[in-house]
Structure 1
Amino acid sequence: MDLAYFAFEGARFMMAPARLAADLTRHGIQSPANPMAYSPYARSIAAGCEMFERATRRYGKPAFGLSGTTVEGMRVPVTERVVWERPFCRVISFDRGFLRPPSEPQPKLLIVAPMSGHYATLLRGTVEAMLPNHHVLVTDWSDARMVPLMAGRFDLDSYIDYLQAIFRDLGPDLHVMAVCQPAVPVIAAVAVMEAEGSPSVPVSMTLMGGPIDTRRSPTAVNCLAQERGQAWFETNTISYVPPLYPGAWRRVYPGFLQLSGFMAMNLDRHVDAHSDMFGHLVRGDGDSAERHRDFYDEYLAVMDLTAEFYLQTVETVFVNHDLPKGTMRHRGRPVDLGAIRRCAVLAVEGENDDISGVGQTLAALDLTPNLAPERKAYHLQPDVGHYGVFNGSRYRAVIAPRISAFVRAMQVFVAEDVPHLRRVV
């Protein structure tokens, strides 16, 4: 498996002439100068060429593209600014340009994006829904194939180190939202900081569809990891980055393998979507075709993960269940969730989640016995799957307002826990 990446790049290279020919054919057939351009026959050929080109393309990192939001009925511009950066991550702040200060407090909310194959832009809808009521920041994790070897290793311990550094630099009035995979490192980072008595512990953390305890309602993903074990994943999924990229010879879990797993889980749905896309193109249904393009331009854009991070996560979270068992360690020191006494916790789950089953995120409330009940909350959203926990109509209408209400409610504890911030409340 070590050279699978080379085979993938070789196949992509060999397909390049055919992809170029398909693209040129499509543009030629659709040219206004072509008298047959609007015939059903021409549209069918053009649709086939576009489907082929899209199926063989490597998709680049998308942009967030959030240019504005509405705050208290006033439309304001939004600009992106990098406020923290290291080789494997940067934090983007979405700055809103107010003409007048809002009348309600705007808590600082850090959204920790998953490092699980997709870019942080997958959370575009998550960010957009929180912008009207929060100063939103998001972790933008780096594609491992673009990070030179000289930047060093990046494993689960490094991930937790990064989170602690971000929490310290962004201030003690910070609220954190962890979407899926980062639920474990976020709660671990908070526990380590609480044990140290750090003044920079976040005010609250919202854990959304995260694998805190995968022994509860195990899904197909959880069972596969449990059955195969870490050694199988190391043998069958880890490869070297080819010399074409800055991260040449880094051992990674390639994004194209993760994408194949994503696609395989709902293969029929993806086949139907692409069949529908072909029909939209032939019929000239531009709006439906554009919605398909927007979704799959995001969904098919994937990034590589460092091998050490991927394998350590598989072993710690899915095979050994170290966090709920109380045996997880960070840099040799125990991660004690019992140390969490200040950072409030909201657990959010989806009723139909097929990635993190119901109860896996709720476990965070049971594993923090020394946190006061008034600092704990739980929300189970009916009729949504994993993606619907952090995106879509129910997220916008129900879940996002629930999170905002929780964040505002927890603000009352800022002065109590961090006396020098009394002036903020």
Structure 2
Amino acid sequence: MLVDIIGSRVLRHVTEFKNFPYKVNNFIIDQSILTLTSEPIPTSMKDINTTELTDITIAHRDLNKGQWEKFKKSNSSVLIIDLLGELRSISEYKQSYYNTDSLEYININSGKKLSRVEQFRLLQKYIDDSFIDVLNQYEKVIIVKFIEDNSEESDFIAGIFDMFEEKVENKLLLEYIVGKDIDKFDAPIEFYHEINMDIKRFESDSYESQLLFNELLLDNELSVYMNFIGDREYIYELYKNGKSFKKSKPTRSRFFKFQLKEPAKYRIRVNLVDNSIQPRLSKTYEFTTDSHSNKASQFIEMPDKNNLWLLDVLIDTTNIEGIIGNPFKYGEGYQGIPVYDPSEVKQDFLPASKLLSTALKKISEMDHITFTRFLKNNEDSNNTLLIDFLTYLRSKR
């Protein structure tokens, strides 16, 4: 099976394994999306002033362009993207874009180096529907992400993915938390082997008869993303210290996350509603207060039943210690959060009258992916006011 790749030296290392499941057809390596459709500077390999063969190859393709046209006409079934090529220094020259070192290799030193912010703003313009259409011509689009705590580079790449990820129809997701001591481009072989094995699972004979998912604990959110392209109905169940703690309603969403409140050992069990495949459990994650996010904890007054969605927004974006409401009606709590009588709470709390403005602020701060998931998770609500509000929000984004 043929694969096209928009990636970096990380994916080049992965493709070098003998058991890599695909035959590489087209490979854009270490280039920004910005550079793909720029005007070419016709250059032969002998005119590129460096002795490193890999650098010569990358510069030759960058300067002569033409690769993106091959992707648009490709007959490959699979596309893999890691976007780490965006970390290369990019320069503008005669209203076109190139890797900075590509220009330097042919003695052009008059290009203007782009700052990260300039590059990001330009990408917001370049990543349009025509770009998305090319991605959606593939049967599978495997997105490979590397997450690093407090890393500006990681945030930069994540921001670019936010521009188009939710619009990719046949997406499969692999995410890896990378320590600062790991050089992704020159890592131990085990680092690349893990990525290769994860990709191989998408082509295994048992792919359709198992529940493959990407799992991630980030701050106080434990999430799974189902790596199956097709219509299935799931129930996501959170286990706490080995016992079932809470579960979702049946949903066709391939993504689900739980907010963790208390130190404990957690894992997610994924169940198919029709029980056609055995349930699968994630790894066990130990959540401690040290791993807790810095969002402020607080008490919130429960709104009336027609406005519970406002509370849901805050539960999804805030560390809520407790809800002030009717403990008799919500004896087991609301979405896993204790419900207290007003007489039981001595701390200040957010009154129900201020939930709307607070929720709107939280929604406005959502990135594209979080906002899109918020819409999808609520569009089947029976609350007509909420539906009208979501429709209004959708028209404004």
Q: TM-score range by the shorter chain?
A: 0.3 to 0.5
- Output the TM-score relative to the length of structure 1: 0.30
Query: Which structure exhibits the higher relative contact order, with contacts defined as CA atoms closer than 8 Å and separated by 6 or more residues?
Result: 1
Based on CA coordinates, which of the two structures has the bigger radius of gyration?
A: 2
Q: 1 or 2, which has the higher helix percentage?
A: 1
Q: 1 or 2, which has the higher strand percentage?
A: 2
- Output the TM-score relative to the length of structure 2: 0.32
